[in-house]
Amino acid sequence: MYDIAVIGSGPAGISASINLKILGKNFIWFSSRDISKKVSQAQLVKNYLGLSEISGAGLEKSFLEHCEIMGIKPEEKIVTGIYETDGHFTLLAQDSAYEAKAVILCIGTEDKKPLEGEEKFVGRGVSYCATCDGFLYKGKTIAIYCTDKKFEHEIEFLCGIAKTAYVFPLYKNYEIKSENARIILKQPLRLSGDTKLKKIEYKDGEAEADGLFILKGAVSPSTLVRGLAIENGSIAIKRDCSTNIAGIFAAGDCTGRPYQYAKAAGEGNVAAHSAVEYIANLK
Amino acid sequence: MYDIAVIGSGPAGISASINLKILGKNFIWFSSRDISKKVSQAQLVKNYLGLSEISGAGLEKSFLEHCEIMGIKPEEKIVTGIYETDGHFTLLAQDSAYEAKAVILCIGTEDKKPLEGEEKFVGRGVSYCATCDGFLYKGKTIAIYCTDKKFEHEIEFLCGIAKTAYVFPLYKNYEIKSENARIILKQPLRLSGDTKLKKIEYKDGEAEADGLFILKGAVSPSTLVRGLAIENGSIAIKRDCSTNIAGIFAAGDCTGRPYQYAKAAGEGNVAAHSAVEYIANLK
């Protein structure tokens, strides 16, 4: 079991990981190899103290170098569910489960709003993992809602299994080659069904499907952790970055404005210290 | 009148100033030319995200370069009192007064604990400013409590005015040349008197004096701002860095643990944004 699991690829997640490394903790950091798009795509960052007039790409480079020097490598998986079990947490990340005594959520703000009905149908037609759940839909009709080109290979993978796939590619320059893919260039609005998902509704239309795969960088905080307190759309934290659930901490943009690199790095730093204190006080 | 006054020479104060500059505000930054000793004296800093494995001196250099590139220069004065007047604040800094609509306190933790009785005798025998109040004590007996060698010239200045000066030099390698200086190598413990200061008590002794000059880098938050809420010895703030007094914000070590550069820089960033929002909402 890990002491602490950190989730997120922005400055908050990196800052938390660096601090945990220095504090000698046994931790796992779930992140993509590239750090948050928000950082790398920034044109010019002037207010990150100590790195004046730096490009987003330059800032990304500095952050990645810092990880490399510290010997910190991310686990490149997307965590889709966190469950409390016997005083610790089980994290589901694609096809694997991980255990940790405490969790630090640094999951940013992008792509987070769940679809209407999404939470209701998780595990009852809604899946976040092509490789885990794809084979449940062999020869069936599925829908795929994807917000990032980097998941396009998973679209092709799913199309190879399903009979028909309604694909909602919510990103630029999609290139989907599967012949059974039916592209719908609309934002899905609502999921409906009885006990199981039946329909994906979008503006001026609907698609009937046995399952919906949601392929995005992260799921909404309240889908990720049931019962997590949300305030004005952000994870509610105290000054020590603790949430309403003992053992779960949060840092960075997911805790609300201002959306700033220094604020995120600072909260990552604080959350790491608070999480370490938390596990030290566990029996 | 300034929009905002920032007080403090550590990462929080610099971060706040950089953000205010970018946000186009008319601000004044009270700081020494050297940044916080805590930064420059650190041996190796590993957890300031983006600047891996840097010495304290290197970090100081990066911070100062950032100020230089942004064209930010400190006002090298020590603020000794902040008073609310007609919906804005008046700041006393040595021999001058300044006005600002909002204040960000980034005053760190060092040298802050007031002496017993200090607050009671401010303006009634206790002074923080040699050049402002020195001449009130011409030919009289004074005491001087000094915690930093950089104020030694003020000791000599005061000795040149007073008949006798009891000097408590609470720093290493003091070199006080004035013949009327009586050096006492003890920590002052308690101030006493009736309506005016009469005695400085220390372990195994006491000194009678007409006035006491306290020469240190900063005064305690509660002496600086009457009525400021303190919690466990730190300034109590909300997550937006606001204090219990509208228009007064705080960031960095003065708001409590963890005492960390990234946390301080992050809070400086947040406090700047909150202060700007505050003044935007003023009538």
Q: How many CB atoms lie within 10 A of CB A69?
A: 12
> Which one-letter DSSP state was computed for residue B238?
-
pLDDT at residue B18 is higher than 80: yes
- Check CB contact of B264 with chain A, cutoff 8 Å: yes
Contact B70 A52 (CB under 8 A): yes
pLDDT > 90? residue B175: yes
pLDDT digits (tens, 9 = 90+) for A130-185: 877 888 999 999 999 998 888 899 999 999 999 999 999 998 899 999 999 999 99
pLDDT, average across residues A9-15:
95
Q: Is the pLDDT of residue B216 over 70?
A: yes
Which residue is closest to B69 within chain A, CA to CA? A52
The answer to whether the predicted template modeling score (pTM) of the entire model surpasses 0.95 is no
Residue pair A106/A119 in contact (Cβ under 8 Å)? The answer is: no
Q: How far is B81 from chain A (nearest CA, A)?
A: 28
Q: Is B266 on the interface with A (CB under 8 A)?
A: yes
Q: Over 80: is that where the pLDDT of B16 sits?
A: yes
**pLDDT tens per residue across span A197-254:** 999 999 899 999 999 999 987 778 888 898 999 998 899 999 999 999 999 999 999 9
CA atoms within 13 A on the CB side of B228: 29
For A112, what's the count of Cα atoms within 13 Å in the CB-facing half-sphere?
19
- Interchain contact A19–B (C-beta under 8 A): yes
Please answer yes or no on whether B260 and A273 come within 8 Å at the CB atom. yes
Contact A15 B260 (CB under 8 A): no
Return d(Cα A171, Cα A78) in angstroms, integer: 19
Backbone angles phi, psi at A172, to 5 degrees: -80, 155
